[in-house]
Each structure stands twice: as C-alpha cells, then as structure tokens.
C-alpha cells in the first residue's frame, strides 16, 4: 500500500504505543491485584511476566506489522497466503472491535465523573454506591457520555496516523504522566498515607499461588494491549529505522511504571481516611474514591476538587489513548480491505461499535436479567475477548513467529536488516517457541476451568 500513513518520529512511535498500553487496566485493576495478591511479591512476578512473556509477544507483533505494512488481517494473508493463519488476523480485529464496544462505555463513565467533578458535584456527601448504580443503569445517560468519547476518538482516528494518533499522543501522554506525578505527590502528603504504601508494597510470598502467577500474566497481557492487532497495526506505520526491541522495552517500562504509580496514588489516599469500604475494579474508582476525596479534604474542599478533577482526567486520557488503538486496528482493516476512505471507515467503525456498546450499557440496567452462560452481555464480551481470544491470540502469534516464519525474516526485521545488533536473538526465539506458548495455554485453561 503506497499512500499509507506512517509515524513521523521515534518519540511519536513510543508515545502512541504507550498510549495504547496505558489504560483503565493500569489504573484500577493493577493496584487492586497488587494489594490482594501479596504486594511487592505480586509486583515482582508481574515484572517477570512482562519481561519474559510480554516483551517477546510485543516484539513478535511488531515484526508482523512492520514487515507487511498492512492491517492485521492482510498482514497474515501476506505472510502466509492461503493458510489458516489468516484467522489470527481476523480474530485480532474482531477482538479489538468487541473490546472497543465495552471499553468505550466505561470510558463514558470516566467522562461523566470528570464532568461531575468539574461542576463540583462530587463534593457532595452521598451514597456513592447508589449514585454509581443509578448512573450506569440509566438507559440513555451512559450511552450519551460514551458517544461523546467515541466522537473524540473518531475525530482523532479520521485525521490519520500522523496528524491524528501521533499528534494527540504527543499531547495526551506527557500530560497524563505529569498528572500522575502531581497526584502521587498529593497522595503521599496525605496523613496516614504510609499505611497504604505498606498495604501495597509489603511482600507477602505466602499469597503467591499458581493462579496468582497466571493472573499476573493475564494482567500483563491485557495491560500491554497484546494479541488484539493494536500494536501490530501501529507497527505497520513504523519506519524502517524504528528499533523494535527498544520500542517494546520502552513501552513496557512506561506501562509498568504507570501501573505501579497508580497504586501509589490510590492506596495512600484510600488508607488516609478511616472507614471507607475498599472495592475492587470499577467500584474502587467510582465508589470508593469519591468518598475518599470528600473525607480526606473536608477541611480544604478546593484541594479535593483539584485532586478528583485531575484523577478523572487521568482516567479519561488513559481510556481515550487506548480506545484510539482499538479503533485504529479495525479502521485500518475497513479502510484497506473494503476500499473506503479513512473517514468513512472510521465512521463505520464508530457507529457500529456504538450500537454494540449500547447493548453492553443496557446490561447494567434494563437488560441486567438477560444472561448467557450466567453472564450479562458486558461480562460475556469481556470474557470472550480478554479471557478466551486474547490468550489464544498470544499463543498463535508466538507459534506463527517462532515456528512458521522464516527465522531470517524475523532476524532481519528485529535488527533492521542487520544494522542494529541484538544479542538475545536465540533467547528470544526460545521464549516464543516454548515458554510463551506454554504460559498462554496455562492462562487459557486456568480461565476456563476456574473462573
């Protein structure tokens, strides 16, 4: 494809890919997992998973994307014409579409909380559990907020790779990092914050069971945006001099730092006030934290106003930059295969994803009794995408790059045609041939049997 977009700078490449990785998963899931699963012990295991599983899979996706300069489905068709490997591309784009449809709904929630906090409505003492449930079960309000966020994502994607994705990542990501640092500073200064740090960091190896290790691996996978065609699609816009391993390592480091720092924001703040119930997941950021903001800052409400505003801004930025990559993964396919303009492709994706998103949103209210395999639509989408297709995708990508592709092609791609030395090539091949496939199979079996 000749007139495909491309990233204009290495900095842009790293920020856009890190934007995909840094998302809601970093802010609300990672800290809770750390707190519940042995503190620093979990962090150590998580880092090992990132190094030995996450980075090799990310490099593999980069190899596929950069070598073919095509959307994920075409990429597999080009590298393995007429074979079943193509299905991995199809699954990647499908999963991205599915995840975007519910991710955008949660992004809408964060946007609602941001606007509520901006008009100072989060400073009112009330039952935040009921407040949150009222909002998410409303048939149209969450959909409207989600549609506004989708519109932002749509506009960015329709502008193209360089003036859309790259330009916005260059503004949003540094802003996001600054907000994190400011919030960590605020949180550390709260009275009693050291309790929260202890909760987060005290290593407790007795809590580390095989299933904790597998959930660390699953979390690393989701957090690094792997197996969804997102990073493969971004890599298709990398230039010939982009260093794949260096980029993968930088993105993983940024993603892990943001996850750990989110814990440094949330737990010291939560532990600085007595008597709030610590929820996991969405409850933590939408029910626990509003209470924390009010109680911790009841003497100086203006600080609570700033803290909560910045926090929900952080969530929204993290969500939008991740949603951009999910959207791009699907848009690139529609644009290149259906042969419509990028704008039209982007509109098709935005509208159809929103329609699917409505069903996810309704599953918190009107349709909450409608279940399939005991799961609401929202839970089902999440289960199929992140618990089933994602580990299978990770497995297939590694088998494809480790066993199917010509080793010389992989080596040339990783070393930029031999110009960038890479001493660990054999270890890399060993990891993606044996270690990662075994890990992926275990995650998959664990999710299926013990969910």
Residues lying near ligand PHE in the complex (CB under 6 A): 20-21, 23-26, 99, 222-223, 225, 228, 230, 322, 325-326
Closest CA to 65 of 340, 289, 325: 325
Q: Compute the least distance from the CB of residue 437 to ligand PHE, in Å.
A: 20
CA distance 43 to 35: 10
Question: Can you spell out the DSSP letters for 237-297?
Answer: T--TT--HHHHHHHHHHHHHHHHHHHHHHHHHHHHHSTT-----THHIIIIIHHHHHHHHT
C-beta closer to ligand PHE: residue 18 or 398: 18
Q: Compute the least distance from the CB of residue 93 to ligand PHE, in Å.
A: 12
Q: Compute the least distance from the CB of residue 390 to ligand PHE, in Å.
A: 8
* Backbone dihedral angles phi then psi of residue 7, each to the nearest 5 degrees: -70, 145
Q: Compute the least distance from the CB of residue 222 to ligand PHE, in Å.
A: 6
> Taking CA 101 as the corner, what is the angle to CA 322 and CA 229, rounded to the nearest 5 degrees?
50
Q: Compute the least distance from the CB of residue 412 to ligand PHE, in Å.
A: 27
C-beta closer to ligand PHE: residue 220 or 289: 220
CA distance 334 to 323: 17
CA distance 109 to 111: 5
Q: Compute the least distance from the CB of residue 164 to ligand PHE, in Å.
A: 16
C-beta closer to ligand PHE: residue 16 or 273: 16
Question: Can you spell out the DSSP letters for 335-389?
Answer: HHHS---HHHHHHHHHHHHHHHHHHHHHTTTTTTT--BTTB-HHHHHHIIIIIII
Closest CA to 227 of 380, 376, 401, 106: 401
Closest CA to 122 of 320, 300, 306, 274: 306
Q: Compute the least distance from the CB of residue 42 to ligand PHE, in Å.
A: 16
Stated length of the chain: 451
C-beta closer to ligand PHE: residue 39 or 393: 393
What contacts 102, CB < 8 A, 6 or more positions away? 357, 360, 378, 381, 382
Q: Which residues of 421-432 are buried (b: 16+ CB within 10 A; e: fewer)?
A: ebeeeeebbebb
C-beta closer to ligand PHE: residue 254 or 362: 254
CA distance 20 to 326: 8
- The terminus-to-terminus CA distance of the chain in angstroms comes to 43
State the sign of the Cα–Cα–Cα–Cα dihedral 276, 311, 106, 218. negative
Q: Compute the least distance from the CB of residue 16 to ligand PHE, in Å.
A: 12
Q: List the beta strands (DSSP E) in 24-105.
A: none
Q: Compute the least distance from the CB of residue 99 to ligand PHE, in Å.
A: 6
Q: Structure tokens of 407?
A: 């080793």
Contact 233, 239 (CB under 8 A): no
Contact 169, 12 (CB under 8 A): yes
Q: Compute the least distance from the CB of residue 106 to ligand PHE, in Å.
A: 9
C-beta closer to ligand PHE: residue 123 or 215: 215
* HSE-up (13 A, CA, CB side) for residue 26: 33
Residue nearest to ligand PHE (CB): 23
């Amino acid at each position: 494809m000749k007139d495909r977009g491309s990233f204009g700078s290495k900095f842009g490449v790293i920020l856009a890919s890190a934007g995909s990785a840094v998302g809601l998963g970093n802010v609300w899931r990672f800290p809770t997992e750390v707190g519940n699963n042995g503190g620093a012990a979990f962090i150590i295991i998580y880092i090992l998973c990132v190094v030995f599983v996450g980075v090799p899979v990310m490099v593999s996706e980069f190899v596929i994307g950069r070598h073919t300069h095509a959307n994920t489905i075409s990429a597999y068709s080009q590298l393995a014409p007429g074979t079943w490997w193509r299905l991995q591309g199809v699954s990647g784009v499908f999963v991205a579409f599915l995840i975007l449809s519910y991710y955008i709904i949660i992004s809408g929630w964060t946007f609602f909380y941001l606007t509520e906090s901006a008009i100072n409505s989060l400073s009112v003492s009330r039952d935040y559990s009921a407040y949150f449930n009222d909002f998410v079960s409303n048939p149209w309000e969450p959909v409207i907020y989600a549609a506004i966020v989708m519109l932002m994502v749509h506009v960015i994607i329709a502008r193209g790779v360089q003036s859309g994705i790259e330009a916005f990542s260059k503004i949003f990501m540094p802003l996001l990092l600054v907000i994190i640092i400011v919030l960590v500073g605020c949180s550390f200064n709260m009275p009693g914050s050291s309790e929260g740090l202890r909760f987060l960091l005290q290593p407790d190896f007795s809590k580390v069971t095989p299933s904790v290790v597998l959930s660390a691996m699953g979390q690393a996978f989701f957090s690094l945006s792997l197996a969804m065609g997102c990073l493969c699609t971004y890599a298709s816009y990398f230039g010939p001099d982009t260093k794949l391993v260096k980029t993968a390592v930088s993105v993983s480091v940024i993603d892990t730092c943001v996850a750990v720092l989110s814990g440094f924001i949330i737990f010291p703040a939560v532990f600085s006030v007595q008597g709030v119930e610590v929820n996991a997941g969405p409850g933590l950021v939408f029910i626990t934290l509003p209470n924390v903001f009010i109680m911790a800052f009841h003497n100086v409400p203006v600080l609570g106003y700033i803290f909560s505003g910045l926090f929900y801004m952080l969530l929204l930025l993290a969500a939008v930059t991740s949603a951009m990559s999910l959207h791009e993964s699907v848009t690139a396919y529609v644009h290149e295969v259906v042969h419509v303009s990028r704008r039209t492709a982007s509109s098709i994706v935005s509208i159809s994803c929103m329609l699917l998103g409505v069903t996810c949103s309704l599953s918190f209210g009107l349709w909450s009794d409608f279940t399939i395999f005991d799961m609401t639509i929202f839970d089902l989408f999440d289960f199929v995408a992140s618990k089933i297709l994602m580990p299978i995708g990770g497995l297939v990508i590694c088998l494809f790059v480790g066993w199917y592709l010509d080793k010389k092609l992989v080596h040339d791609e990783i070393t930029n045609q031999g110009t960038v030395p890479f001493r660990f090539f054999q270890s890399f091949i060993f990891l993606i041939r044996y270690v990662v496939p075994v890990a992926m199979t275990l995650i998959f079996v664990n999710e299926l049997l013990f969910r």
